[in-house]
Amino acid sequence: MASTADPAKRHLLYTHHRQAGVDFSDGDYWLVINDHAGSAGSSSLIYRRKAPLVYEQGTDLHVAAWKFFDQRNGLKTPRKGKIEEDYDKSVGLEANPFDHRYVDAVCWVDDSPPTLLIRLHGYKDDHSHTNWLCLYDVRAKSFSTNFDAHNK
């Protein structure tokens, strides 16, 4: 990051290995980095501004967003016909049907409270997939599908 007033003032916020993008909230109080680190998954990392050019990393939405998806879609039992991966078990996603899971923060939809529109995309080898949207309230650290509250 670089100061617009003094470009010599710089601060490295994040490094990535493949593809990443950033979206700032109104007023630059929050930012989210969508990191597409590999072919089987991605992360959406939320940061809160502490001082000019200084942001503190908070939540990675990947696991929490997919847990919300599983809960909202009634997925409770382990997948059938697939060997459960140790990672899925360790993070509580053993009921999730997808081998490849991606999360993207699409945009900031509100600044009071700061809220992100989240897109989940998942598929498995038989090419079944989903595109599913939800909202994430950054302050409350909670997900919802109450889009009416933001369609004013």
Q: What is the pLDDT of residues 18-55, one digit of tens each?
A: 788 899 999 999 999 999 877 777 889 999 999 988 89
Q: Which DSSP string corresponds to 62-86?
A: HHHHHHHHHHHTT--SPPSSSPPPH
Residue 32: count of CB within 10 angstroms of its CB: 26
Among residues 137, 131, 141, the alpha carbon closest in space to that of 149 is found at: 137
* CA 149, chain centre distance (Å): 20
C-alpha dihedral sign at 14, 65, 139, 30: positive
Q: What is the DSSP letter of 10?
A: B
Q: In this structure, are residues 82 and 96 in contact, taking their beta carbons and an 8 Å threshold? A: no
| Percent over 90 (pLDDT), the chain | 41
Scanning the structure block, which residue is given the tokens 């990393």? 57
Over the stretch 58-85, which tens digit does the pLDDT of each residue have?
A: 999 998 999 999 899 888 766 655 555 6
Other CB atoms within a 10 A radius of the CB of residue 116 amount to 26
Give me the pLDDT at residue 84, please. 54
